[in-house]
Structure 1
């Protein structure tokens, strides 16, 4: 049997899949159910999985498959509202649209140093990225070269997903363009009249520059790693 919120969520997901073929985002689920946080959505999704109402499709962002939907009568007021919860299994003759692989392509602008600064290469290639990894704003990707950010979990060969911005707060990981020629991925900090770019590897030293030498070109939004 389903709680009222579980009933509302499975109906919302099923309706969205019927309309668009794409699973709603966790943010959309949170707003639709008037929840305070996405953690509540995660709990509801897990509960619906356990009850075999939905299934998550592996290796596909935001991809949910509805296995059965409850009857569209009055939603239960609570888990104890009725001893059973009637449900209808989706028949093979009228399947829901297959969930779309919610992936978008963002520009891949070469390699960026996570060690000594190297030239930021501009390229025309695109990188497919699960939309769930990105928030609002314009994004691009850079392939990480070097090991100076390993203690922040950023490894050589990773793809850094960068949200474009020209400002940063102390402690944020940014793409810093130095002297309009070289770019590096580092923690951004202000130190008196200077800008300090900190590595996340004790084998590397901080780099200090005048503010006119450093231009923030974005900050880290996520990572992609291939195995």
Structure 2
């Protein structure tokens, strides 16, 4: 049986993965569970791993996957197998492979995508900073994306530039798949346009009348702006990586 804190953490991670495809940061987990230090989060994660409710994805910073929930038996499909299925579908869409960050969304859409899974073209509208804000470059290219990775709504793609989101599994050169929206909830990974000129990819928070944009890299500081300076251009829906 799980302790109340283990159960609470597992459900929090599961909900965040279902909503964004991105596991929460240790700081977010600490705050959500009202713990005094991140060491408590590490102990809880270790206990969930031992009980096979949770696994760390190899070679990815801060990448977690919920393998089962309380009351469920052992998962029928292993995480590596499901991840390989998603990657194979992305390869059929022009050589792009789905990263572990987007694999959760792919598995939710289809447990095993066929090799000839249909792809759709989404606009590739330029580069997005995952470090300090840079000017969003408006290009007119198209990117082929497996249809199963995209939910309802209008989408576009941006190529990531910088390293401030690496702890969320988002790396320089990745293609961020963005669902167009002008609204964001606390903790969403968003495309934020600053002063109608500079775009950046960050976690969205509200703090004392300000908008706080948080990186996922301990080397970077949060950015704070008056709400009037920030426009939400979309939310992260998935991620593609070329090899």
Query: How does the TM-score come out when normalised to structure 2?
Result: 0.54
Partner of 1:212: 228
Greater RCO structure (CA 8 Å; 6+ sep): 2
Q: C-alpha separation between the residues in 1 aligned to 2:163 and 2:87?
A: 30
**CA offset digits 1:138-161 (Å, max 9, x no partner):** 000000000000000000000000
Structure having the larger proportion of residues in helix: 2
Q: Are 1:167 and 2:214 an aligned pair? A: no
Partner of 2:12: none
1:57 deviation in Å?
A: 10
1:101 deviation in Å?
A: 3.4
Find 1:104's aligned residue among 92, 96, 120: 120
Equivalent residue of 1:141, what SS?
Answer: strand
Unaligned segments of structure 1, at least 5 residues: 1-38, 47-55, 64-97
Find 1:199's aligned residue among 215, 227, 243: 215
1:177 deviation in Å?
A: 0.2
Q: C-alpha separation between the residues in 2 aligned to 1:57 and 1:142?
A: 20
1:100 deviation in Å?
A: 4.2
1:60 deviation in Å?
A: 2.8
1:133 deviation in Å?
A: 1.1
| Runs of 4+ residues over 2 Å off in structure 1 | 56-61, 98-101
Q: Are 1:60 and 2:89 an aligned pair? A: yes
Q: Are 1:187 and 2:207 an aligned pair? A: no
Query: How does the TM-score come out when normalised to structure 1?
Result: 0.58
Q: Once superposed, what is the RMSD of the aligned Cα atoms?
A: 2.4
Give the total of aligned pairs.
Answer: 142
